[in-house]
Structures are given as structure tokens and as C-alpha cells.
Copies of this chain bind each other. A is one copy, B any other.
Amino acid sequence: MTTSDEVRWLSSGQLAAWRSFSLMLARLPAALEQQLQRDGGLNFVEYHVLAGLSDAPDRTMRMSGLAVLVNSELSRLSHLMRRLEKRGLVRREPDPCDGRFTNAILTDEGHAHLVRLAPDHVATVRKLVIDALDESRLASLRGCSEDILRAIDVCDAE
């Protein structure tokens, strides 16, 4: 990748910003997961699997769609769904219309678990993010996130 010999190191201000940001990048997910794990025995991805299914028509999604939604590889999702299935929170069945697809379905028990968990999760998100920032900061955080996501997409597309 190093195409030029000159490295553009970071200025001290940039470095300070990067340090804070990258520390936050490590700590916030850990803090969110801690709450979900404690209150519901779920990690971040598992929670979003249940939440995604609960918003979908018939509480049903294809595995591949779900994988995109939760930003995870299909293999990881497959293992994860096996564990959730063993706990009775979801079930899987082949799509009757096209046998190549597998439908993931939220069970009643899974839905109940999610409903039980959601308020505390939202409260945590508020406490650590939404209410920790004033309104203009939050708007600007959204802008930063979108800029960074765009840069990642550009980079992925080479």
C-alpha cells in the first residue's frame, strides 16, 4: 500500500482527537454489551438480531438479509442463530418458495425477551450517548459517522 515514501504523520491536534476517538471506540461497545449481557444474557449482535426480526413483517427475515442488517458474516450468523435457537428465542426453516433461502423467525418467547430488555437498553443508550451530548453535538456526531461510513465504502470499492 505504501505508494509514496513520505509519510504524513498526524499533527498533535489530530493525534489527540484520534486518541480520544479510538478509546471511545473501544469502550462504548464494551459498556453497551455489559448492560445487555447482564440484563438479558445477550451480546450486541444477538440483541440486534432479535430487534431486526421484531421489526420485520411476520417477524421473519432471510438469513442473508439479517446478516447485512447486523453487519455480520453469514457464517457467524449461522453459529449465532444455532445458539439462539437452542435457547428458544428464534427458529429457522427453509423458505417454502425458494429452497436456497433460510427464513429466520422470532418466536413468541424471543419477542417477550426483547420487550423485557428494550427499555433498559434504550435507557443505557440515552445515558451514554444521546443525553451525554447536547443537540448540536449529536447532529455533528451523525455527520461524522456518515462521512466515515462513506470513506469506508470508498475504500472497500478500492
**A25 pairs with B28, CB closer than 8 A:** yes
Name the B residues within 8 Å of A101 (CB-CB): none
Shortest CB-to-CB span from A101 to chain B, Å, is: 24
**B18 pairs with A130, CB closer than 8 A:** yes
Q: What is the chain B residue whose CB lies nearest that of A5?
A: B119
Name the B residues within 8 Å of A137 (CB-CB): 140, 143-144, 147
Could you mark each residue 131-152 of chain A with 1 if its beta carbon is under 8 Å from any beta carbon of chain B, else 0? 1110001111111111111111
Number of interface residues of A (CB under 8 A): 57
**B149 pairs with A10, CB closer than 8 A:** no
Query: Is A112 an interface position by the 8 A CB rule?
Result: no
In the assembly, what is the distance between CA of A147 and CA of B128, in Å? Answer: 9
Query: Is A122 an interface position by the 8 A CB rule?
Result: yes
Given that A122-B10, A144-B133, A147-B132 are known contacts, is A138 also in contact with B17, CB under 8 Å in the complex?
A: yes
Name the B residues within 8 Å of A146 (CB-CB): 20, 24
**B151 pairs with A21, CB closer than 8 A:** no
Name the B residues within 8 Å of A14 (CB-CB): 130, 138
Shortest CB-to-CB span from A151 to chain B, Å, is: 4
20 CB < 8 A contacts A-B: A7-B118, A7-B119, A7-B123, A10-B125, A10-B126, A20-B145, A21-B141, A21-B145, A23-B149, A25-B25, A28-B148, A31-B155, A127-B151, A132-B148, A132-B150, A132-B151, A133-B144, A133-B147, A140-B141, A140-B144
